[in-house]
């Protein structure tokens, strides 16, 4: 069964550094998403991406964040200058049709720790 994959599984970085989180969505899906989950809190929507542009974004997704689909398979989330409060689990998702409904399938996540 096709899966969403994410790399790395864990990343530790210093405050102020740039990080790039990578995702490979399911191959025939067209919508892609990033969500994050701060430890002990809800899963929160960050951004959705379709046809090589941002479709929707939340208030969290400020100018420090960017997304890109640099080639036909990868979907990346870049945090330009990390802050302590960016420490979280970041989930990528892609959306496809399943059982008559649009369904988002999530990757295993990247745990980001900012020191």
Partner 1 sequence: AQSVTQPDIHITVSEGASLELRCNYSYGATPYLFWYVQSPGQGLQLLLKYFSGDTLVQGIKGFEAEFKRSQSSFNLRKPSVHWSDAAEYFCAVGAINAGNMLTFGGGTRLMVKP
Contact residues: partner 1, CB under 8 A: 31, 33, 35, 41-45, 48, 50, 55-56, 58, 91, 93, 95, 99-109
In terms of CB distance, is 14 or 99 closer to partner 1?
A: 99
Cβ-based neighbours of 83, under 8 Å, separated by 6 or more:
15, 64, 114
Q: In this complex, which beta carbon is closest to partner 1, that of residue 50 or of residue 65?
A: 50
Cα–Cα–Cα angle for 15, 47, 111, nearest 5°? 40
CB of residue 72 vs partner 1: minimum separation in angstroms?
21
SS3 string of 16-79? CCCEEEEEECCCCCCEEEEEEECCCCCEEEEEEEECCEEEEECCCCCCCEEEECCCCCCEEEEE
Altogether, the residues listed in the chain come to a count of: 115
Q: Least CB distance from residue 18 to partner 1, whole Å?
A: 24
- Tell me how far, at minimum, the Cβ of 24 lies from partner 1, in Å: 14
Q: How far is the CB of 10 from partner 1 (least distance, A)?
A: 10
Q: Which is nearer to partner 1, 18 or 102 (CB)?
A: 102
Choice between 46 and 114, CB closer to partner 1: 46
């Amino acid at each position: 069964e096709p899966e969403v994959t994410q790399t790395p599984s864990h990343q530790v970085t210093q405050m102020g550094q740039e990080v790039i989180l990578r995702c490979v969505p399911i191959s025939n899906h067209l919508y892609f998403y990033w969500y994050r989950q701060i430890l002990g809190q809800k899963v929160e929507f960050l951004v959705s991406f379709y046809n090589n542009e941002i479709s929707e974004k939340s208030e969290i997704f400020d100018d420090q964040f960017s997304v890109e689909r640099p080639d036909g398979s990868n979907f990346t989330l870049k945090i330009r200058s990390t802050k302590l409060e960016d420490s979280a689990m970041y989930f990528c998702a892609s959306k496809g049709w399943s059982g008559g409904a649009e369904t988002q399938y999530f990757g295993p996540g990247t745990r980001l720790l900012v020191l």
